[in-house]
Amino acid sequence: AQSVSQHNHHVILSEAASLELGCNYSYGGTVNLFWYVQYPGQHLQLLLKYFSGDPLVKGIKGFEAEFIKSKFSFNLRKPSVQWSDTAEYFCAVNAQSSGDKLTFGTGTRLAVRP
Amino acid sequence: NAGVTQTPKFQVLKTGQSMTLQCAQDMNHEYMSWYRQDPGMGLRLIHYSVGAGITDQGEVPNGYNVSRSTTEDFPLRLLSAAPSQTSVYFCASSYKDGSSGNTIYFGEGSWLTVV
C-alpha cells in the first residue's frame, strides 16, 4: 500500500518569501501525484497534478511541483507567496494499480504574514 | 454544472442516532468516494464506488454504510453515531483525464458533530 509523508506540519512565512513544501511517498510502482489546497472553511481544490511526462508541473496561482522519481518526492514550490496563500496544503498519491483511491499526507498549514 | 454537491453542510447528532450524508454529482463520473478529515491526519478514505451497483471499503469503513444505486448519487450512512465520528466528511468523484490518470474533485464538505 502507498503512504505519503509531509514533514512540515506548520510553516510561517512573510509575504514575498519563497515556499517549498516537502512531500515524499512510498510505493514501488507507477503513481499519479497531486497537490490540493484547502482555504479556511472551504473544500479541497486541485492545485496541480502529475501523471507522466515533464516532471516539472505548473499549477494554478503560480505554484509548481517537481517529481523526482529517484527520491520518491513531489515537492511544492512558489517563488513569492502572498497573504492569500494562507491555507492548508495536502499532497496525495494515487497508485495507478489502485484505481482512483487517493492516499493523502497529513497536510501542511501555511500562514503568510502580510 | 453543479459539480459535487453534499448535504447537509452542518449536522449535530446525539450518540446512537443514525443519519445519511447525501452526495450527488452531475458530471457522469464513474468513480465516487467518501473521505473524512481529522486534524493532523489528513484525509482518509471511508468507502468508494467504481460504478453503479459496486462499492468497496476504504481505509476506515467501520460504522459507515454506502450504496450506489445510480451513477449520480453516493450516500453515506452512519448507522449508530459515535463521538469518534465527529469529523468533516468530503465526497469526491473522478473521471479519466485522457492520459494515464484520473483527476478527483471534491464536494464542499459536511461538518458533523456527535455529542
pLDDT digits (tens, 9 = 90+) for B38-70: 988 889 999 999 889 999 999 999 999 999 999
pLDDT at A29 over 90: no
Residue B81 phi, psi dihedral angles, 5° rounding: -60, 140
3-state class of B51 per DSSP?
strand
Radius of gyration of chain B (CA): 14
pLDDT score of A95: 80
pLDDT at A2 over 70: yes
Q: Does A28 touch chain B (CB under 8 A)?
A: no
Do A106 and B40 lie within an 8 Å CB cutoff? yes
User: Residues A105, B42: contact at Cβ < 8 Å?
Assistant: yes
pLDDT at B96 over 80: no
pLDDT score of A31: 87
Chain A positions touching B106 (Cβ under 8 A) are 36, 43-45
pLDDT tier for residue A76 given thresholds of 50, 70 and 90: very high
Q: What's the grid cell of residue B78?
A: 452512519
A101 vs B45, B97, B101: nearest CB: B45
**Can you tell me the mean pLDDT for A74-80?**
97
